[in-house]
Amino acid sequence: MSEIRICGYRPLSGEIKIQGSKNGVLPMLAASVLQRGTLKFTNVPIIQDVICMVGILESIGCKCQLEGNCLKVDGAEVKDIQIPREYVGKMRSSILVMGALLGREGRAVTWHPGGCSIGSRPVDLHLKAFRQLGARIKEEEGRIEARAKELSGSEISFPFPSVGATENALLAAVLAKGETVILGAAMEPEIMSLCRLLNQMGARIQGIGSPVLRIQGVDELYGTEFNVPGDRIAAGTYLLAAAAAGGRAKLLDAPWEEMQAVVGVLRRLGAKVEPLGAEGSSGAGAAGMEIKMDGRPRPICLSTGPYPGFPTDLQSPLLSVLALAEGVSTVEETVFEARFKTVGELRKMGAGIEVSGRRAIVSGKDHLTGASVKAWDLRGGAALVAAALAARGETRISDCIYIERGYEDICRDILCVNGDIRWIGS
Ligand code: EPZ
């Protein structure tokens, strides 16, 4: 398994070009199954999850061509409706191809993706949406089959704003007969960019950015070109790394407007964060952002939440910052039931964190110490990088394969801001 070695306790300085959004591009790639032309995506992040999604698309008959950060998907020949099991185990968002296959072919087969270290992560709301659109669902020993002679528009109401279930409902509804209304839809920027793509392909979706999405089904969708927006979670990770290690960093192509909850928290921690090259104070049209951080972070109390709240994906990197704060902080994790696995690794570096249920209580220390630690999940691994950049001495992070799922090259990016970091081993 690949390992990262970091010598910390050195302020950051420099600029990073933020990659395309992992959680934005994955549902968009699933959407390419809905059209029989060619979709051309630019600014695609070259990460394991994209490679995995390309594998799924090719296995069902799409032709994919990846050149640099440009990916073309030709959807003329979808022959198979079964998502290969080996991909399902690697990547939960394989489930998103189910909605697109159901929309295009009226049939789809996959497997329960199973849980991971952040929670059980069931797919009951995805299947509920398919049933409400008229699909018959058969579940047997982990295998899930969805069939529908014809999908008909319906009212789908989610008890809480599931990102994936909202995306799957959209992917199945855009070619259904009649109108679908999704109530309690997730409002993450990744949903908005998926809706913009689908409308550019010929879909008719209204209410983008609101919790009520109205979809008028159409007969056909077409190829188009689309630029993947900057990854707000990768950008937030690097903001928090700078808040932990101190110094200054410019993040080019970071999506300023989508990151206001994160910017607000960084300012509460004592950092200066401003938009780059923006007209007016709102930061509209910013080309990115800049962070400056001197001294120890201030303690804060915070709950994660669905957009526009503070994203659960930045909860672990935030713990790395609060571990150095001048006082006691509390963090409530309201989205996933088991997203504190990295706390045990941060403790090995001297962090004073106690977890009780969904709450972490962080007693800030004036320093952390390098140690040998392990990445248990994608964002937990990124949190260890942030902590190691602030810690005294050397940190070795093992099982970094998780980090490669979502960050193009975290060592390349941290080297751009003068961090002492390198990959070790294959
Ligand atoms: C997406 O996961 C993201 N992944 C996650 O990012 C992110 O943490 C999450 O949204 C929340 O923002 C991608 O976009 C590929 P959910 P998703 O459905 O769609 C429960 C990362 O690090 N739930 O909004 O799976 C679920 O168990 C990843 O980039 C059900 O109970 O998230 C969780 O507790 C991690 N039934 C909560 O809802 C369902 O049918 C939120 O899950 C679906 C979800």
Q: How far is the CA of 298 from the centre of ligand 1 (A)?
A: 30
Instruction: Please give the C-alpha separations between residue 275 and each of 13, 18, 251, 252, in angstroms, as whole numbers.
Output: 17, 14, 9, 10
Could you tell me the pTM of the whole model? 0.97
- Per cent of the chain over pLDDT 90 is 92
**Which of 46-50, 133-137, 386-390, 422-426 shows the lowest per-residue confidence on average (mean pLDDT)?**
422-426
122 lines ligand 1 (CB under 6 A): yes
Closest ligand 1 atom to 336 CA:
34
Contact 380, 345 (CB under 8 A): yes
Which pLDDT band holds residue 121 (cuts at 50, 70, 90)? confident
The CA distance from 372 to 209, in Å, is: 43
What is the residue with the minimal CA distance to atom 4 of ligand 1?
23
116 catalytic per annotation? yes
Would you say residue 392 has pLDDT above 70?
yes
Closest CA to 69 of 91, 90, 45, 93: 45
Q: How far is the CA of 336 from the centre of ligand 1 (A)?
A: 8
pLDDT tens per residue across span 203-226: 999 999 999 999 999 999 999 999
Work out the end-to-end distance of the chain between its first and last CA atoms, rounded to an integer number of angstroms: 7
DSSP 230: B
Would you say residue 282 has pLDDT above 80?
no
In the chain the domains, ranked by start, together with CATH numbers, are: 3-18+230-424 (3.65.10.10), 22-219 (3.65.10.10)
Instruction: Please give the C-alpha separations between residue 191 and each of 26, 27, 168, 222, in angstroms, as whole numbers.
Output: 11, 9, 10, 19
Closest ligand 1 atom to 126 CA:
40
Indicate the average pLDDT of the chain.
96
- Per cent of the chain over pLDDT 70 is 99
Would you say residue 281 has pLDDT above 80?
no
Which of 125, 163, 167, 188 best tests ligand 1's pocket when mutated (most atoms within 8 Å of CB)? 163
What is the residue with the minimal CA distance to atom 17 of ligand 1?
164
Which pLDDT band holds residue 123 (cuts at 50, 70, 90)? very high
Closest CA to 423 of 414, 390, 247: 414
Instruction: Please give the C-alpha separations between residue 139 and each of 56, 86, 136, 146, 169, in angstroms, as whole numbers.
Output: 21, 18, 10, 9, 19
124 lines ligand 1 (CB under 6 A): yes
Would you say residue 291 has pLDDT above 80?
yes
**Which of 12-16, 83-87, 351-355 shows the lowest per-residue confidence on average (mean pLDDT)?**
83-87
Tokens 């640099």 belong to 68
Q: In this structure, how many other beta carbons lie within 10 angstroms of the beta carbon of residue 397?
A: 27
Which residue is catalytic, options 62, 64, 116, 195?
116
pLDDT reported for residue 79:
84
pLDDT reported for residue 280:
67
304 lines ligand 1 (CB under 6 A): no
**Which of 110-114, 144-148, 355-359 shows the lowest per-residue confidence on average (mean pLDDT)?**
110-114
Largest CA distance in the chain: 63
Would you say residue 283 has pLDDT above 80?
no
DSSP 234: H
**Is beta strand 136-140 parallel, antiparallel or unpaired with respect to 70-74?**
unpaired
pLDDT reported for residue 1:
56
